[in-house]
């Protein structure tokens, strides 16, 4: 049995199929981790959702910022952007089942010494703490209050994590860290505007994974989101967004031996919009 971690799909369905063929993935014997952003901007969001959902326990998924965008649009709280490619999902006869399935996915997955999250984890969070906080958001999205919460999900505040945050502010900060963050300070202040590489860190900020006393440094964090870093396999963090959507590659890494598999993008090569 093999476990594969796969970078941001963002609707790149043909490349996803090719990558699974390349690794010889069998849902009967293998498992995959998908680091979020299954949908949007690529042409195949609908078949990706259908196929990953059908894999059942063979696939583990965490929510990314584009997945949450689909959920807020489907709930009627936001209008699609001009660059969105989620109309096929919104108009599908199985829309409700797919949206409900997506809404049930966590922000953090933990297994042994592996953690999966879409964007990042704050330096003060332990693995157990991150998993607990993910559970708080998961419970809210499964509750009767989910529709209202999706309506207040977006916003940059509070920009600094505190353990005593409550209510919507607490959940929004958790979501922002797990699905949007790139740079932060040691005390948990997050910065959301800068989307280029680590050399462009705003003054006082560092990449979330580069802080000296990050409490999840003993685990390996598997993530995506930061396409300007492309594939980056450090000892305790694996950045898997290799820019398939922008004409790069789609990457799978076999865990734990870290063998890398890649297929070329079928999307036109274009500058990354850093989002």
Q: What is the CATH number of the domain that holds 99?
A: 3.60.21.10
Domain count, the chain: 1
- Between CA 92 and CA 130 the distance in angstroms is 34
pTM of the shown model: 0.96
CA distances 232 to 90, 139, 140, 224, Å, are: 34, 32, 33, 10
Cβ(32)–Cβ(17) under 8 Å?
A: no
| pLDDT tens, residue by residue, 55-74 | 999 999 999 999 999 999 99
Determine the distance from the C-alpha atom of residue 161 to the mean position of all C-alpha atoms in its chain, rounded to a whole number.
19
Residue 269 falls inside a structural domain? no
Q: Is residue 271 part of a domain?
A: no
Is 82 inside any structural domain? yes
Residue 103 lies in a domain: yes
**Element (DSSP H or E) covering residue 220:** strand 220-223
In a domain, 125, yes or no: yes
For 134, other C-beta atoms within 10 Å of its C-beta total 24
In this predicted structure, what is the pLDDT of residue 268? 77
Q: What is the pLDDT of residue 275?
A: 43
Distance CA 9, CA 52 (A): 11
φ, ψ for residue 116 (rounded to 5)?
-120, 135
| 245 close to 165: Cβ distance less than 8 angstroms | no
Query: C-alpha angle with apex 102: 62 to 150, nearest 5 degrees?
Result: 95
Range of the domain at 129: 3-264
Segments in the chain below pLDDT 70 = 269, 271-275
List, for residues 133-166, the tens digit of each pLDDT value: 999 999 999 999 999 999 999 999 999 999 999 9
User: What's the pLDDT score for residue 107?
Assistant: 98
> Do the domain assignments include residue 273?
no
Please indicate, yes or no, if residue 39 is contained in any of the structural domains.
yes
What pLDDT is stored for residue 1 in this prediction?
Answer: 87
Residues 238, 3: contact at Cβ < 8 Å? no
- Give the model confidence (pLDDT) of 27-43 as tens digits: 999 999 999 999 999 99
């Amino acid at each position: 049995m093999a476990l594969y971690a796969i970078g941001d799909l963002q609707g790149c369905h043909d490349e996803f199929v090719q990558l699974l063929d390349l690794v010889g993935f069998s849902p009967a014997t293998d498992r995959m981790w998908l680091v979020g952003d299954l949908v949007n901007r690529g042409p195949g969001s609908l078949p990706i959702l259908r196929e990953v959902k059908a894999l059942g326990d063979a696939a583990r998924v965490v929510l990314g910022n584009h997945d949450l965008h689909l959920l807020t649009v489907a709930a009627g709280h936001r209008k699609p952007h001009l660059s969105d490619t989620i109309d096929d999902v919104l108009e599908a006869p199985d829309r409700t089942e797919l949206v409900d399935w997506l809404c049930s996915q966590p922000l953090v997955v933990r297994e042994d010494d592996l953690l999966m999250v879409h964007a990042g984890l704050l330096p003060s969070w332990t693995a157990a703490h991150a998993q607990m906080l993910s559970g708080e958001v998961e419970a809210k999205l499964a509750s009767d209050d989910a529709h209202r919460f999706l309506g207040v999900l977006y916003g940059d505040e509070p920009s600094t994590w505190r353990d005593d945050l409550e209510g919507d502010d607490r959940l929004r900060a958790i979501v922002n860290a797990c699905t949007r963050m790139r740079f932060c300070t040691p005390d948990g202040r997050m910065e959301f505007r800068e989307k280029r590489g680590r050399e462009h860190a705003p003054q006082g900020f560092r990449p979330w994974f580069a802080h000296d006393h990050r409490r999840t440094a003993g685990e390996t964090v598997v993530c995506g989101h930061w396409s300007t870093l492309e594939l980056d396999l450090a000892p305790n963090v694996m950045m898997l967004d290799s820019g398939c959507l922008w004409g790069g590659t789609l990457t799978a890494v076999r865990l734990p031996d870290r063998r890398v598999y890649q297929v070329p993008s079928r999307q036109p090569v274009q500058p990354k919009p850093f989002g």
